Amino acid sequence: MEKKPRLRRKIDQFVLMFMCRCKLFLRGLRSGGLGQERVARKKIYVHIGTHKTGTTSIQDFMRRHTRLLEKCGILVPRSGTHKWRKGHHNIAWDIRSDPLLEPGCGGVDDLICELRAADESVALISSEDFEYLVQYPNELRQFHARLLGAGYEPIYLIFFRNKTDYMKSLRLELKKQAIDEPLDWFESEIREHRRILVNGDWYYDFDYDRFLNNWKAAVGESVLAFDYDRACASPGLLPFFFETVGASKEVIAASGSSPRLNISKTGRA
């Protein structure tokens, strides 16, 4: 499927928000009180798509199989995606006031509206740029509170890969963004600071315990961390991921034959 032009994407978002607000209005009428929230708390999985851990492949599958996921009660929100088959980058950009923010493609407010209107008991969002939010604890805490206020229990998912492959793949990926530092610079930064920091706030933490502790300090213990290399070995990254979020056997089986995307020269996604 071709990527939607920017104007059409903005029109789609406008229509989506209109439909969500109508749905919430009618639901309020039926319940006898406008704005009344459901008692049962739902779940939202927030995939902190650390770079070079198969995130592009996960997002592509989510988008191509949105209907199949909805059949098993998992919503993949449209709000926050500025291009077809991409992640919810606009949500991450909105949270940290990134200049890349596309206002017409849905930010946090639109996501909350879509979640409130959803019939599904589970929602799933994913973005590589959620990784940078570990530097923005106050903003992350506020986002977490808004999800709770919408009636959702946030659960954060993250994959960590072995640091040698991660460094090599990250270096190749940053090269595509015109950040072409030599290998010994990467090695020195990781050895001295246990992280790579470029382009202002592009932050890649190689101290995984530190990353988890900082994230948990903002949102609590609702963080699930997994070994990327082990998941890739068996049962495969995508089947492991979708089994974790409670997808159906049909979804898990389909994910096992899904193509790997954005594979680096190291031979891994």
Question: Dihedral of CA 189/261/265/253: which sign?
Answer: positive
pLDDT of residue 2: 43
* pLDDT tens digits for range 95-151: 999 999 998 999 999 999 999 999 999 999 999 999 999 999 999 999 999 999 999
Above 90 in pLDDT, residue 30?
no
Mean pLDDT, the chain, whole residue set: 91
Give the chain's radius of gyration (CA, Å): 19
Cβ count within 10 A of residue 15: 10
- Give which of 85, 127, 131, 132 is closest to 107, Cα–Cα: 127
Mean pLDDT of 6-15: 88
Q: Which CATH number fits domain 41-256: 3.30.2010, 3.40.50, 2.30.30, 3.30.700?
A: 3.40.50
* pLDDT tens digits for range 159-170: 999 999 999 999
Above 70 in pLDDT, residue 266?
no
Report the SS3 class of residue 230. helix
Which amino acid makes up residue 126? S
Above 80 in pLDDT, residue 1?
no
Question: pTM for the whole thing?
Answer: 0.91
Whether a cis peptide bond, with omega within 30° of 0, leads into 182 is no
Pairwise CA distance, residues 77 & 80, whole Å: 8
Distances in Å between the Cα of 246 and the Cα atoms of 72, 165, 210, 221 are 9, 29, 28, 20
Lowest mean pLDDT among 34-38, 136-140, 215-219: 34-38
DSSP 127-176: EGGGGGGGG-HHHHHHHHHHHHHTTEEEEEEEEE--HHHHHHHHHHHHHT
Mean pLDDT of 5-17: 88
- Give which of 109, 111, 89, 108 is closest to 100, Cα–Cα: 89
